[in-house]
Amino acid sequence: MANNAYVGQNLLIECEFRLNGVPTDPSIVTVTSKSPLGSTVVLTYPNANLIRRSEGLFEASILAGEAGTWSFRATGLGVVDAVNEFSMTVLASAVGA
């Protein structure tokens, strides 16, 4: 997904976990999102909005309800202990929704 998205889109967040270079599923996978206004959503696998695509690869879907900078934290615990944080810009529509 590009670095920019628009309000009303589902933001697709990929989380990849590896152990010694090999794709490996953690025991627990959690994705936390924080909206520009400070609301947080925590998804823990299994969840309809946090799915396993393949060994070590998970995808979260979070609705972008407001414009601004969204922050994300993907965490794996257990078999693989890993954390990754990043952000994404969500733009308001120039033509309305």
pLDDT tens digits for range 28-63: 999 999 999 999 999 999 999 999 999 999 999 999
- pLDDT above 70 for 96: no
- 9: how many CB neighbours lie within 10 A of its CB? 16
Read off the pLDDT of residues 2-37 as tens digits, 9 standing for 90 and up: 457 999 999 999 999 999 999 999 999 999 999 999
pLDDT at 75 > cutoff 60:
yes
Spans of all domains in the chain: 4-91
DSSP 28-90: EEEEEEE-TTS-EEEEESSBTTEEEEETTEEEEEEE--SSEEEEEEEEEESSS-EEEEEEEEE
DSSP 9: S
CA distance 62 to 41: 8
Residue 29 burial (10 A CB sphere; 0-12, 13-18, 19+): buried
pLDDT at 93: 81
- Looking at domain 4-91, its CATH class is mainly beta
Q: Quick one: which of 13, 14, 32, 11 has its CA closest to 91?
A: 11
Q: What is the pTM of this model?
A: 0.88
Tens digits of residue pLDDT in 78-89: 999 999 999 999
